[in-house]
Amino acid sequence: DAIVNAANSRLAGGGGVDGAIHRAGGPDIMAETRQRYLQGCPTGDAVITDAGQLPARYVIHAVGPIWHGGQHHEAEQLASAYEKSLAVAVAQQCHSVAFPSLSTGAYGYPIALAAQTALSTVIAFLREHQQPSCVRFVLFDNATYTAYAAALGEMQDVDATIT
């Protein structure tokens, strides 16, 4: 139903996941963000648009933090970006959501730390809300997948499957 875009706070499009989503989804996504979110989206928050030409209903634009050594509330902001994305998805009755690894590309967040935060936040949200029914992490490369698999393996008593 929804894919999550690793957006910047201006919702201005960019490289990486953000650029790929805007290229594949077409100009309607950017037009909608400009019309609906004139002030952009603050770090740790998320907003939603239609998915344009993508095979999904929505794009959720989540703004993760830029890594500054971990001393500037980066973990809290990253957790908030995941939580707000899921809350937006639930509000739009999305049954499935696909996430990238937020903030680990150009924003420099260490992948192993990001994986721990992402997975623990998503699992806590699902336990509390029992929805959406399917959350996937669509990861860029083998190193990112390995970091997420390791983080999940370190968690105890988790009802989740990595495929």
Considering the candidates 1, 18, 45, 50, report the single residue annotated as catalytic: 18
How far apart are alpha carbons 17 and 45 in whole angstroms? Answer: 17
Going by DSSP bridges, is the β-strand pair 58-62/96-99 parallel, antiparallel, or unpaired? unpaired
Between CA 28 and CA 90, with CA 131 as vertex, the angle to 5 degrees is 35
Determine the distance from the C-alpha atom of residue 25 to the mean position of all C-alpha atoms in its chain, rounded to a whole number. Answer: 17
Give the torsion sign (CA, 70, 76, 80, 83).
positive
Q: Is 45 a catalytic residue?
A: no
Tell me the β-bridge partners of 99. Answer: 137
Q: Give the active site residues.
A: 18
